[in-house]
Amino acid sequence: MRTSRLIISLIFLLVGSVVSSQTEVIIQEEFSDFRVSDVLQQLGEKYQINFAYDSFQLGKIRGSWKFDGITPAQALKMLLAETTFVFKSLDETYVIYQERAPDTDSDQDQSSEVSAIVSGEIRDSYSRELLPFAVLTIANSSCAVSANSEGQFTIDTALNESDTLEVFFVGYEVKLIPAREIRGKTFVTIYLSETRNFLPDVMITADGVSFLKTGYIPGLHVLNPSALNVTQGTGEADVMRAAQILPGINATQESSNGLFIRGSNNDQTQISFDGFNLYHQDHFFGAFTSVNANTVKAMNIHKGITEARFGGRAAGVVEIIGREGNLNKSAGQVDIGPLSVGAVFEAPIDSSGKSSIFIAARRAFTKVIFSPTYKSLFNTTYNAAVVTSAEKGTQTFGTNDPEFFFQDFNIKLSYRPTRKDFLNLSLYTSRDQLYVQYADSSDKELENPHNISYTDENYKKNAGASLRWGRTWKNDWSSTFVAGFSRFTGSFFSSDSINDLLFQTDSVRFTSELTVLDDFDGRFEVNRKFNGHHFVSGLQVNTISSSMKKNEVGAILNDTTRTGIIVSAYLSEENETNERLKIKPGVRVNYFSKTSLFYFEPRLLIQFELIKKTFDLKASAGRIHQFIQRTQTQSLYLNTPDYWWIAESSGKGILQSDQLMLGFVFHKKNWTFDVESYYKLTEGNILNRSLFGNSNVTVDLPFLIGQGRAFGADFLLSKDVKRHHMVLSYSIMKTEVNFMLYQLKNVPEVFDQRHELKLNYQLNLKRWDFSLFWVFGSGRPYTPVLGTYNFQLPDGEIRKLPVYGKPNSARLPEYHRLDVTAAYHFVLGSTRINIQASVFNVYNRINIRDIQYLTLRTSSNANDFTISKRSLRMLGFLPSVNLKFNF
């Protein structure tokens, strides 16, 4: 209760501080050889005027001005007269931004005929970087077009003289372009300016707000992490944490190892980076994502049924488009966090602005500096994974300091030889490595006659590369070729030195495990517009090879390699002639080499505009097949790396998901209310047997395979007012899986969370950004131990056996936490500096990740033991500070 009052008070304090009336003021000042940014700062402070501007850009312009009894607007006109900047008054704030004429770069149709088809591209006005998935709509009309992943678009709707185009991109200022300015032109380049100070830093566009009007894609959310001045998380900017604001995406796992969508495991969410699939998705055992936020330009998050061009994952797809280099000038960035240091460099390669390079690197300094954030994170994550005894935590600092680091590296080369072609080469590597030793000394020789010294060494890494070539052959058709390769490697080596105190013997036990996964994904796609119909067709080849080698004390326990090839063809159509009803049918046909069978996936996406620009109904239905599942998750305790299992020739292991979604979106003024209800039927669900021990029948796999269903609803309420941005999310869901062969019915999935409520509030005040994130989740399931019973063997000996309850039949306590962040940014010379302080779990809530059962020996007889229950805690109060320098 006290916490709630504190939160409410904080919100009102933040809101109240910016609500002030602005009366007309007269300026009487003189500035000699001043930066524009300094002039604005002084005027703002002295005359209490709100200015919103890019101090980095305006800091580069110097001059002398004399304001002799004039209004702020007149002063701004003088101040910006010799620049490319303009201003306008918005909500008691003078917003200053860079003006670029939309038709600065355009081709005039020599025939002077009015072209019904206009193609073009949308770029950042500062760096000229292309903006993927930007949206164009015609004001007062339902017509809308979405740019592709390369920022290119085609409008084939005839425009009237009075029409106005609205161009959106998350994190950028909305641009209004009169249609008469582009009529008669065959190619248009539109420049958008980044909104650093006067629009919400992250604008999450749910269905029906922007993207339903463009792509008619239910379940789609778009995120622009590059505009993310404020991040929640554990010390590192984290695009997955930002995505967890959305309903239906779990935020209570404290894991950024992919996304857990609508009760599904994270292996059912595909993460594609510039065309290759990411398998190493986290750093620091899930504490934050391995995707460097500095490298991401846009992130499309698809929940549930997607367009036919996507396939292979049952729960959703995260499509990440990496940043391109600055085409105007070289620029750099340095980040210093509590765990790592990172750098970004971008530059044009040639003088004609056709090619650029973008390089980003990040490396942890945790091998040499043990920051409090690092220690806290390490002790929590590692102790949760390694067991010594019930109440004794592992001592990982002090005597045997762990050697841990992570790193990632991105390079992207972009080349546009002509306006019709683009060529991108994207390279990526990442690595996490840990070497740790710890001892478990026995203080009760008779009960536990062993002193054990553990040595664990593990790494996991991912290398990825992709080549993308796209060409616009004509205004109404284009093609894209993408070839991506990804190699994931996971390795564990553990060596336990055991000293037997009774017999005074020493022995060493070691195990090692190495898993390697190669994923090649090639795709050729054609986009064709014809008589108001938009066709997308493509051919995709995905070859996956997964191997595992497992050794134990000289013995080879496992050495297998599995390979599967999935050849997919897809076609979807969208009728763009009906403004109110958008139906997008599609089909995807997969051929799986292991079974030599075809798998059909019909898809249907519908959006109906019931009330113009206000209320849309939406629906989707379809089928998805997943041919690879992660059956073994990295476990420090079990000494196992991730292992991905390719379905067998019998079809065992193929996950099939039939999904139906019905929803609506209401949009009025600054309010958005988005609802999606869903029903999923699945076959091939996996349940790890180690969750509850052995089943009733002997099986050849370490997991059970069943059939299940999931149903629920996601609610999103968002509002943007002035400098305030609020997102309120609520999800309700239920999952049930039957493993009939094993007499198990209605087993909840591991990630079944009945209720999840999230509130994200952001406030931007001149140089300050504030953020608050609160999440509540009802308890997730776990498998309880009920007790033990004795079984008398034929020779009279007694075996004491534990009895596990039904899998996932008990629930963990509810989860909740509050994160707050404050960021301050300013310009020093030509360097923009951002200082961010954040606190994870402000009120130090003790959340439980899982329940672990330990045996406590009561004599030297292995059958004399009691069972102790241990709650694995999640992160507590965790402050961190980050610095960012842009130059």
Partner 1 sequence: MDDLIREGPILTAILEAGKKPTGVRYFEMAFSGETTEKHRSAEIRIIGDDHSSVELVNSGIDFYTDENFVIQSEGEYDIELNDTEMGLRSSAHVVIPPAIHLLVQELDTVIINDPENTTNHAGLVQWTSPDPDLYSFVVKLENLEQNPIEINQSPTGQFQNRFTGPQLEPFLNLLKSDFQYLGNHKLTVYVIDRQFEQMFFFDAADLRGILQDGPENVKDGNGFVAGVSSFTIEIFIEE
Please tell me the distance from the alpha carbon of residue 152 to that of residue 370, in angstroms, as a whole number: 46
Please tell me the distance from the alpha carbon of residue 645 to that of residue 558, in angstroms, as a whole number: 14
Yes or no: say if 508 and 498 are a contact pair by the CB < 8 Å rule.
yes
Half-sphere exposure of 652 (CA within 13 A, CB side): 9
Q: Considering the complex, state which of residue 329 and residue 509 has its C-beta at the smaller distance from partner 1.
A: 509
Please tell me the distance from the alpha carbon of residue 253 to that of residue 287, in angstroms, as a whole number: 10
- Give the other-Cβ count within 10 Å of 592's Cβ: 22
Q: Give residue for tokens 């390979």.
A: 563
Residues in the site for partner 1, rule: CB under 8 A? 386-389, 452, 496, 498, 509, 637, 692-698, 743, 784-795, 799-806, 809-810, 852-857, 862-863, 865, 867, 869
Which secondary-structure segment (H or E) carries 9? helix 2-16
Q: Considering the complex, state which of residue 48 and residue 694 has its C-beta at the smaller distance from partner 1.
A: 694
Shortest distance in whole angstroms from residue 448 CB to partner 1: 9
Which conformational region is residue 577 in: left (phi greater than 0), alpha (psi within -120 to 50 degrees), or beta? Answer: alpha
Q: Considering the complex, state which of residue 524 and residue 804 has its C-beta at the smaller distance from partner 1.
A: 804
Shortest distance in whole angstroms from residue 868 CB to partner 1: 9
Shortest distance in whole angstroms from residue 808 CB to partner 1: 11
Shortest distance in whole angstroms from residue 550 CB to partner 1: 16
Q: Considering the complex, state which of residue 459 and residue 853 has its C-beta at the smaller distance from partner 1.
A: 853
Shortest distance in whole angstroms from residue 264 CB to partner 1: 25
Which secondary-structure segment (H or E) carries 142? none
Q: Considering the complex, state which of residue 499 and residue 863 has its C-beta at the smaller distance from partner 1.
A: 863
Shortest distance in whole angstroms from residue 697 CB to partner 1: 8
Yes or no: say if 506 and 497 are a contact pair by the CB < 8 Å rule.
yes
Please tell me the distance from the alpha carbon of residue 298 to that of residue 319, in angstroms, as a whole number: 8
Q: Considering the complex, state which of residue 330 and residue 866 has its C-beta at the smaller distance from partner 1.
A: 866
Shortest distance in whole angstroms from residue 456 CB to partner 1: 11
- Give the other-Cβ count within 10 Å of 500's Cβ: 13
Q: Considering the complex, state which of residue 509 and residue 668 has its C-beta at the smaller distance from partner 1.
A: 509
Please tell me the distance from the alpha carbon of residue 701 to that of residue 337, in angstroms, as a whole number: 43
- Give the other-Cβ count within 10 Å of 887's Cβ: 14
Shortest distance in whole angstroms from residue 836 CB to partner 1: 39
* Residues 6 or more apart in contact with residue 59 via CB below 8 angstroms: 35, 36, 37, 38, 827, 829, 830
- Give the other-Cβ count within 10 Å of 336's Cβ: 15
Shortest distance in whole angstroms from residue 797 CB to partner 1: 8
- Two tokens at 202? 């992250």
Shortest distance in whole angstroms from residue 698 CB to partner 1: 6
Q: Considering the complex, state which of residue 72 and residue 402 has its C-beta at the smaller distance from partner 1.
A: 402
Half-sphere exposure of 457 (CA within 13 A, CB side): 7
Q: Considering the complex, state which of residue 341 and residue 810 has its C-beta at the smaller distance from partner 1.
A: 810
Shortest distance in whole angstroms from residue 444 CB to partner 1: 13
Q: Considering the complex, state which of residue 634 and residue 657 has its C-beta at the smaller distance from partner 1.
A: 634
59: nearest Cα among 745, 831, 618, 601: 831
Q: Write a three-state SS string for 199-256.
A: CCCCCCECCCCCCCCCCCCCCEEEECHHHCCCCCCCCCCEHHHHHCCCCCECCCCCCC
Residue type, 34: F
Q: Considering the complex, state which of residue 532 and residue 813 has its C-beta at the smaller distance from partner 1.
A: 813
DSSP 779: P
